[in-house]
Amino acid sequence: MPESTAILSLGSNLGNRLLMLERAIRALRASGFSILDKSRVWETAPWGVTDQPRFLNMCLTASVDLNPEQMLETVKAIETSLGRTLCERWGPREIDIDIILLGDAVIDLPSLKVPHPLFHKRAFVLVPLTEIAPRIVHPLLKKTAAELLACLPKEQMNWIIKI
């Protein structure tokens, strides 16, 4: 299996949010994700369903020797092991790990879409992504993360800590 570079978005808005992000990073490392870079942790407003607690969000880059389906299976297993329960779409969650990009791959499977189909509309992904990879290009839209962020309305986000 050739090694690929993945961009992941992590978020939590239930329980000890910062601890959840730290535990997710440790679990990713233990599952074969070699973390290359991490953004700061940002406190953000909920997206989609707005009547819920604020999130802590971050992005990271990692090299990994898993194929996309194995990567998704691993990420979902980590979420479950950290206590994620099924919830309403875009609702509150203990931990959420999304695969945003896999190099310049375009994947369209029933269970996995890469690039993530909504990341270009979400400041909570683009702000931390731009922090660590401003020149990364969306393989379908052909715009950099920084260009995509510039297209969004300004949103109040506060960085919390670098973990």
User: What CATH number is given to the structural domain containing 75?
Assistant: 3.30.70.560
Question: For this structure, is 93 an active site residue?
Answer: yes
Question: For this structure, is 104 an active site residue?
Answer: no
Q: What is the pLDDT of residues 77-95, one digit of tens each?
A: 999 999 887 676 767 889 9
- The confidence score (pLDDT) of residue 10 equals 98
Q: Please tell me which residue in 37, 40, 54, 84 is annotated as part of the active site.
A: 84
Q: Please tell me which residue in 17, 23, 96, 122 is annotated as part of the active site.
A: 96
Q: How far is residue 23 CA from its own chain's centroid?
A: 15
Q: Please tell me which residue in 23, 40, 65, 93 is annotated as part of the active site.
A: 93
Quote the tokens at residue 158: 């506060």
Q: Which residues are CB-neighbours of 9 under 8 A, at least 6 positions away?
A: 57, 58, 59, 96, 97, 98, 100, 116, 119, 124, 125, 128, 129
Q: What is the pLDDT of residues 140-154, one digit of tens each?
A: 999 999 999 999 988
> Which residue, 129, 114, 117, 3, is CA-closest to 67?
3
- The confidence score (pLDDT) of residue 3 equals 73
Name the β-bridge partners of 63: 5, 34
- The confidence score (pLDDT) of residue 88 equals 65
Q: Please tell me which residue in 40, 98, 122, 135 is annotated as part of the active site.
A: 98
Question: For this structure, is 98 an active site residue?
Answer: yes
Residue 90 sits in which domain range?
4-161
Q: Which residues of the chain have pLDDT under 70?
A: 1-2, 86, 88, 90
Question: For this structure, is 96 an active site residue?
Answer: yes
- For residue 44, report the phi and psi dihedrals to the nearest 5 degrees: -135, 155
Whole-number Å distance between alpha carbons of 53 and 151: 26
Q: How many domains does the chain have?
A: 1
